[in-house]
Structure 1
């Protein structure tokens, strides 16, 4: 009787492709304000998927990014993402203000790499929702300190146009009547300053554990909005990921 033919590993090619594409799949939790400007915090589960294809295309929870141009330390990229909007059911402090619809975003990013630091400027246009324009400028630093621990830090300023600021921080006459807030006009300008620190622990060749702490500070017309109950906006993130 002939020996049985071994069953092929059906998933082998898939796993190899995930490895070639530098795919990370994981899950975690986020502790953050119920909305930007809220003094109430909430815990949310966070599925996580990240992939880098051909060293140019990146897919992660923020959207899809394409490295369009690279010359030495200078890079230009385009990205497509989303803005989740805001529901008045997210908090009692938003009742009567109505919902801000979710929106797709499209934009670009210029960055300059200098040692462990990356300096960047990005601009994103909302398509739908607030129909606003948001820009960000800042620096991110990533530095391995041991063979298994990588530390990171970042600082950035976020700017927004009148459409975005009015949608998230302004209050028109109808909203004032429904919510009890006074009317308020929010103009274009600096929306916030954001600081972050992070640590990534390489458990082994595949498993990683990442923690991140952020602190946002609302400024200008955003900080003065009646909707804002607290200008300091902390958030914490913990993610366990598996790298193929």
Structure 2
């Protein structure tokens, strides 16, 4: 009998960063629990000043934390016709009424009025490695970079309309905007959600991910191509979340993106239809 062959999927940089966020959150919680357990044994003069630093010791349930893990089936890169299954740790937290944390970064609501919310956010753009696919060999890497931006949303009943803009510092140095709508409704133990969006990008972003310079063309064999600013893609997605208990949840999500304009015409793009699916199990504190 031949030995069983096991194929391991190399975690992406986004996966590793999400794992770090999970570890940091859990470490903070454990440290807070230890402070509570040791309080009796430590003299009052040496105890932690909860009056000044109480926010650090907030419990996970006060932060509305969800921790989970799952798997995603998605293209190897934007425009790829090859797919891979990769593990995805999931962490999200809502601190108070205005601060949100998830694997993509930090969001702070700076203004809330009559259904409108204006938010600022900070995160990252993961870039792209030519090692992600043989098709990318010779194109070089698109470096990761920090991202800062803002979002304006309007909530009306179960629907949300939004517009966002993000600027990458480093990496592509690109500017990306998104217009979209989401709707979510709960039925007993099920939460049903659906959304649609359009993504626009400037010259820097488009040229970084879809352009091919003369040097890249010589190395990769792809034809030279200039990608200009404009509408990059449309996306639609839907998800079902099942609340198995008060704390445990199971979520399935599927979506499809349609590259358009200069992105769809790029020689880097093998397929302008980009489906994906995800299944995860989470625990809500």
Find 1:209's aligned residue among 250, 268, 273: 250
Residue 12 of structure 1 and its aligned partner are, at CA, apart by 7.2
Structure 2 alignment gaps of length 5 or more = 1-32, 38-55
What is the match of residue 40 of structure 1? Answer: 82
Structure 1 alignment gaps of length 5 or more = 1-8
Q: Residues 12 and 41 of structure 1: is their aligned pair in 2 closer, same or farther, counting only changes over 3 Å?
A: farther
What is the match of residue 4 of structure 1? Answer: none
Which aligned runs of 4 or more in structure 1 are off by greater than 4 angstroms? 9-16
1:52 aligns with 2:103: no
Measured against aligned partners, the alpha-carbon deviations of 1:3-42 in whole angstroms (never above 9, x if no partner) come to: xxxxxx7587899710011011111101000000000000
Counterparts of 1:11 and 1:209 in 2: how far apart (Å)?
33
Counterparts of 2:108 and 2:82 in 1: how far apart (Å)?
36
Counterparts of 1:167 and 1:160 in 2: how far apart (Å)?
11
Residue 72 of structure 1 and its aligned partner are, at CA, apart by 1.5
Alignment of 1:86-105 (within 5 A): 86-105=128-147
What is the match of residue 79 of structure 1? Answer: 121
Measured against aligned partners, the alpha-carbon deviations of 1:138-197 in whole angstroms (never above 9, x if no partner) come to: 1000011x2200100000000000000000000000000000011000000000000000
What is the match of residue 117 of structure 1? Answer: 159
Counterparts of 1:64 and 1:185 in 2: how far apart (Å)?
34
Counterparts of 1:201 and 1:11 in 2: how far apart (Å)?
35
Q: Which has the higher helix share?
A: 2
What is the match of residue 156 of structure 1? Answer: 197
What is the match of residue 69 of structure 1? Answer: 111
User: What's the TM-score, normalizing by structure 1?
Assistant: 0.94
Counterparts of 2:103 and 2:258 in 1: how far apart (Å)?
23
Counterparts of 1:208 and 1:63 in 2: how far apart (Å)?
22
Counterparts of 1:16 and 1:181 in 2: how far apart (Å)?
54
Find 1:184's aligned residue among 225, 239, 256: 225
Residue 239 of structure 1 and its aligned partner are, at CA, apart by 1.2
What is the match of residue 175 of structure 2? Answer: 133
Q: Which has the higher strand share?
A: 1
With CA pairs under 8 Å and 6+ residues apart, which has the higher RCO, 1 or 2?
1
Measured against aligned partners, the alpha-carbon deviations of 1:195-217 in whole angstroms (never above 9, x if no partner) come to: 00000000101001111101000
Residue 230 of structure 1 and its aligned partner are, at CA, apart by 0.2
